Amino acid sequence: MTDNSNQTVAILGINGRIGQFAAKAFIDAGWQVKGFGRANRAPFQGFEFVEGDAFNLKDMQRAVEGADVVVHALNLPYDKWADDEKGAVQLNRVVLEAMKGSGKTLLFAGNIYNYGAKDHKLTPDLPQHPATDKGEIRVQMEQEMVDAGRTHNFQVLIIRASDFFGPDATGSWFDLAIGREFNKGKITRICDGKTLHSWAYLPDLGRVFEKIAGHRDQLGAYENFHFAGYRVTGDQLIATIQAALPTSFKVVQLPWWVFNTMALFNPMMREIVKMRYLWQEPHQLVDPKLDAILGPNFGTPFERAVAETTYSLLPESELAKLKTNLAA
């Protein structure tokens, strides 16, 4: 096993979903880990916590100080992205300013908003023509990263994934939509159930960050990686959830008409509705180079990933049934 104990990674956004699972992967691989956030809410140990405000340059400089690798997993609520003073672009610029002249490696948690509604096969070299304003913001952020890295001597590696899910990970489409009524014995179908959609299992995605960090000396000044994850229809996902459940749940349709109505006066809901195209058009992340780095046996079986996530969302009554069934 490689000795990583002399390497340090700083996780910006240690309390977030990607930040937590990336941190766990680095800790498990033997790295020295620093975690940055407003408060230490991570439900695990094994890292040095750095408290601070992500918009404060001095705090950000303290966070990245001494690190060989920096994982940029900071994010804002949807309705804050376009804020002129404290939006996503401004937050990103603080990170880039702290990285200047450091010679470090910056790993950025990318998404697929950079691409258009009709871009179905998403390869790292595919031209980016976003379909929404949030996609335009992401394109701008990534371009500023590349420009800053080239001008100010640091490596930029983007790891892109689609919707993610994982055990005890909240704030995703899996828990907020699909599993929102597990406590009532219901599974929610997001769209037509037939459209192929890509998913990333957070424990696996965290390991991708560590794997890429370990290969950074073999990579260029800028690389854009696409993590394939799983590609399934809504109905396939629901069937896999049902297979993990102790009893059969009723399947209900997500009421998009309610979302559309709420969007008229709710900024957050308005931003969510804009992204509906991702559930209406199939997409697939393709990246042979990343696949080669990860190896043929990388990744958790889909059935296990879905089961572990489902169990973390079930009410105690359903978990009791599950334990009874397993004991029988």
- Please report the pLDDT score of residue 51 as a whole number: 98
- Please report the pLDDT score of residue 19 as a whole number: 97
- Beta carbons of 204 and 159 less than 8 angstroms apart: no
Average pLDDT over residues 260-272: 85
Tens of pLDDT, residue by residue over 146-179, are 999 999 999 999 999 999 999 999 889 999 899 9
Percentage of the chain with pLDDT > 90? 84
pLDDT at 255 over 80: yes
- Please report the pLDDT score of residue 8 as a whole number: 98
Average pLDDT over residues 221-238: 97
Name the nearest CA neighbour of 17 among 154, 161, 120, 138: 161
pLDDT at 265 over 90: no
Report the C-alpha gap between 126 and 325 in whole angstroms.
Answer: 48
Largest CA distance in the chain: 64
- Please report the pLDDT score of residue 256 as a whole number: 87
Confidence of residue 319 (pLDDT cuts 50, 70, 90): confident
Confidence of residue 272 (pLDDT cuts 50, 70, 90): confident
Report the C-alpha gap between 112 and 95 in whole angstroms.
Answer: 21
DSSP symbols for 177-230: IITTTGGGTEEEE-S-S-SEEEEEEHHHHHHHHHHHHHTGGGS-SEEEEE---E
- Beta carbons of 23 and 36 less than 8 angstroms apart: no
Which domains, ranges and CATH numbers included, belong to the chain? 8-165+197-230 (3.40.50.720), 173-196+233-281+300-327 (no CATH)
Secondary structure (3-state) at 73: coil
Tens of pLDDT, residue by residue over 170-207, are 889 999 899 999 999 999 999 899 999 999 999 999 99
- Please report the pLDDT score of residue 328 as a whole number: 54
- Please report the pLDDT score of residue 3 as a whole number: 80
- Please report the pLDDT score of residue 2 as a whole number: 67
Report the C-alpha gap between 138 and 217 in whole angstroms.
Answer: 26
Report the C-alpha gap between 238 and 214 in whole angstroms.
Answer: 36
pLDDT at 1 over 80: no
Report the C-alpha gap between 80 and 85 in whole angstroms.
Answer: 10
Tens of pLDDT, residue by residue over 296-309, are 999 999 999 999 99
- Please report the pLDDT score of residue 114 as a whole number: 97
pLDDT at 326 over 70: no
Tens of pLDDT, residue by residue over 63-100, are 999 999 999 999 999 889 999 999 999 999 999 999 99
For tokens 């979302």, name the residue.
Answer: 259
Name the nearest CA neighbour of 113 among 151, 156, 154, 82: 82
